[in-house]
Structure 1
Amino acid sequence: MKVLIVHAHPEPKSFTAALRDQAVSTLEAQGHEVRVSDLYAMNWNPVASADDFSSRENPEYLVYALEQRLGVKSQSLAPDIQQELDKLLWADLLILNFPIFWFSAPAMLKGWIDRVLVSGICYGGKRFYDQGGLSGKKALVTVTLGGREHMFGDGAIHGPLEDMLRPILRGTLAYVGFDVLEPFVAWHVPYISDEARKDFLHSYQQRLEHLSDDRPMQFPRLSQFDEALYPLPG
């Protein structure tokens, strides 16, 4: 299996980085080929703009998704985007590895999503969910956060963690066709003991060693809807 890990944390010695390293060592020990995009180390540009295209179909007015589609055909995507897109298309499994910032992903990772999930390849028209351009690939979200586990869930003070991750799990990964696996979560990380952190690393290792046993999360399938995308009866 070919694995791309997209890592987004500003501190190289963070526990999030330790999870990245655990993933690399565990997956390579199983014989998988692993590539890592460390967005902060790469000084990744997260800003989607007209500068992402060396030539434009419409230089007077930027429709970003349309220019992406045309940029693929004319090979006018910015080199940093094309490099990441090539890695994404190469991979069988995508791991997004990041801390929760303000109930969401870091801006650096959001910018990778905005610029690399290119219209015309990853999605476009009715190429979404099970018909998305990246169907047949798997995705795993690995997150760290400061909150305690009991603070998340139905009736908890912050609500379900799945609600925070919905834009990534459903609106991004499932939308472009990935089989999305249940997230791996390391809770309360800045405040726990080293021993507790080691327990999380061990749990992550076990999870990665048995990914083939994971059943993807359930999301809509286009066969459940009519041509206008109204739900079919039943």
Structure 2
Amino acid sequence: MNDSAPQQQQKKILLVTAHPEPRSLTTSLAAFATEHLRAAGHEVRVSDLYAMKWKATVDADDFPDEPGDGRLHVMAASERATLAGRLSADVAAEQEKVRWSDAVILQFPMWWFSMPAILKGWVDRVFTAGFGYGPTLPPPYSESALGGRRALVSVTAGARESSFSDRGIHGRLADVLHPVQHGLFWFTGMTPLEPFGVYRANDLPEERFEAAKREYARRLDGLFTDAPVPYRTLTGGDYDHDMRLLPGVETPGTSGLDLHVRPHS
């Protein structure tokens, strides 16, 4: 081995996974991703939410200093607790992992066109005001609060891939995942990549599992080099003061969610 050969720069990656069955495809893909990234020299932390018995609901227990006899204003209470360093210990620990990371991967099964409730609860509780968004932080939809981090969704779905296409009955995968890609990642400043999907996941024969791992490995290898989704920035001159896209900015014929993606040059 040539000791002078250039080494890939080590990165720090947080993988958050959510499935109640330890032998599930989701868990297997999370384990594969962890092993593959570590073999490439990266440092990986894993938050397995079911194994952690993660509390999914936001409530007053998240903000220990809030008076118990008043009305709970979640955004204001979460901002006060965040800025004072007084969040509940489990939330604070997950926020530290996000701050530590250079990239965040969410690994989950698609249930009812969204993420499992336990993962949505992780988002609700961890991305507090003062951490992921809010008036004390830079504007959203830009290199804002959590800028500088890559983000990847890896999802399993029982349906066939064609049903998640432009003419598929479920809609394009990117559109179904828009609340995560644009509304979580890009809103908080993280840079999302195109999502990775494994389809017909309820009955996946070994040869298709091996093919899925090969494709996943390719996507993981490009975590820091693949071109991200080119979402428009709120502060880049494309939107007015009411956060509406200015007329004529888009390529003629563009509509729907594609309006918020910069056209290819």
- Cα-to-partner distance string for 1:19-40 (whole Å, 9 max, x where unaligned): 1111111111111110000000
Equivalent runs, 1:187-202 vs 2, <5 Å: 187-202=199-214
The residue number in structure 2 matching 1:136 is: 148
Identity %, equivalent residues: 40
1:49 to 43, 59, 65: 59
Q: d(CA) in 1 for partners of 2:40 and 2:67?
A: 46
Aligned residues: 234
The residue number in structure 1 matching 2:6 is: none
CA spacing shift, 1:59–1:74, aligned 2, 3 Å = farther
Gaps of 5+ in 1: none
Gaps of 5+ in 2: 1-10, 250-265
- Give the alignment's TM-score, normalised by structure 1: 0.94
Q: Name which of structure 1's ranges 217-226 and 33-42 shifts more when overlaid on structure 2.
A: 217-226
- Give the alignment's TM-score, normalised by structure 2: 0.84
Equivalent runs, 1:68-217 vs 2, <5 Å: 68-125=78-135, 127-217=139-229
Q: CA deviation at 1:163?
A: 2.1
Structure 1 or 2, whichever has the larger Rg, is 2
**Is contact 2:150–2:224 with CA below 8 Å preserved after alignment?**
no
Q: d(CA) in 1 for partners of 2:245 and 2:164?
A: 31
Q: d(CA) in 2 for partners of 1:36 and 1:62?
A: 31
Cα RMSD for the two superposed structures? 1.6
**Is contact 1:181–1:216 with CA below 8 Å preserved after alignment?**
yes
Bigger relative contact order (CA 8 A; separation at least 6): 1
The residue number in structure 1 matching 2:72 is: 62
The residue number in structure 2 matching 1:223 is: 236
- Amino acid of the residue matched to residue 68 of structure 1? S
Q: CA deviation at 1:154?
A: 2.0
Q: CA deviation at 1:95?
A: 0.2
